[in-house]
Amino acid sequence: MTTRWGIAGTGSMAAAILPDFALADGAEVVRIGSRTPDRAREFAAPYEIADVGTIDDLLRSDVDVVYVATPHAQHHALAMAAIEAGKAVVVEKAFTASLAHTREVVELARSRGVFCMEAMWTRFQPAVVEARRLVAEGAIGDPFALQADLGAYRAYDPASRLFAIELGGGATLDLGVYPISMAQHFLGTPDKVVASGSLYPNGADASAVVTLHYADGRAASLVFALSTESPGRAVLWGTGGSIEIAPRFHHPTQLVVRRNGGGAEMLECPVRGRGYVHEIDEVTRCLTAGLTESPTMPLADTLDVQWVMEETLTQLGTTRVDSGSSEKPRCVTGVTHE
């Protein structure tokens, strides 16, 4: 059986994932939905997708899965509408722009028994899957710390999706979700979040240094920014060695495993296509098995990650449409970016 997907949105993420459907087992994109049908038609033409229209048309169609690929602030409404329509839904990260909205989507999906998953493609990359396998077999002992950075310089433009408050702009939702999710994947949910960083003139977060503290002494140190380039490396430390997820860690192809008393071993972990096919295949597997959540990216993990992001944004003192708060930060450094 082939799973029929509809894509809501015609931006960069929709364009990035679409080619990988040609490599997917049992999944195809049959419809594109946009606020403007002309834009949907233009976007779909190179892929010979004939069924295009509005988002409402997409939700009324016979697609099995709706992939939400719009700006963060629109995820909540679209995901809720898709679930109400009985469609399985895959929501781009960040899942929504606020913890409250994420809870609403999760509660509705669970109450309706509808499949719902955050499109955190990193968790399905072969290198990350292999790292988890190595940890499970005790290759580096007990993990006790994780370090990760992800920075990308983007010229500040308050009208751009990356920076616009009303669209959920800022470093945390756009880039911070990756290191935060990586820490959650390997260390679990922290007991305390401490964040400091800098803001753009409009109140969106430009950069952040986030430390996750665990009651048993474990910790994660995370740095992310839209104002500065960085290597994009993640290192998991254990009592018996370490695993480096080579840059850029959110779509890696190499691991470096170092065992205490031994040398470094480099492992090649190639991806198929652009790397998105792995999460597409996960959705197919889950739907075929009758699951309503992915075991690799369960909704409990999405809630945990969203909670850390909420704590981070609160401590940074960001201006946020969803929270209605522009209160100055407790831990902000006072640096601003023009």
DSSP class per residue in 189-207:
--SEEEEEEEE-TTS-EEE
Q: Which two tokens stand for residue 249?
A: 């860690």
Nearest to 6 by CA among 122, 120, 86: 86
**CA 140 – CA 127 distance, rounded (Å):** 16
Angle formed by the axes of helices 299-316 and 99-112, to 10°?
Answer: 170
Q: Are 233 and 242 in contact (CB under 8 A)?
A: no
Instruction: List, in order of start, the domains of the chain with CATH numbers.
Output: 3-121 (3.40.50.720), 123-272+297-316 (3.30.360.10)
**CA 105 – CA 292 distance, rounded (Å):** 13
Q: Are 141 and 240 in contact (CB under 8 A)?
A: yes
pLDDT digits (tens, 9 = 90+) for 193-211: 999 999 999 999 999 999 9
pLDDT digits (tens, 9 = 90+) for 111-120: 999 999 999 9
pLDDT digits (tens, 9 = 90+) for 137-158: 999 999 999 999 999 999 999 9
Query: Quick one: pLDDT at residue 1?
Result: 78
List of E strands, 188-278 = 192-199, 205-213, 219-225, 234-238, 241-245, 254-259, 264-268
pLDDT digits (tens, 9 = 90+) for 12-23: 999 999 999 999
Q: Within 13 A of 102's CA, how many CA atoms are on the CB side?
A: 26
Task: Enter the pTM of the model.
Answer: 0.93
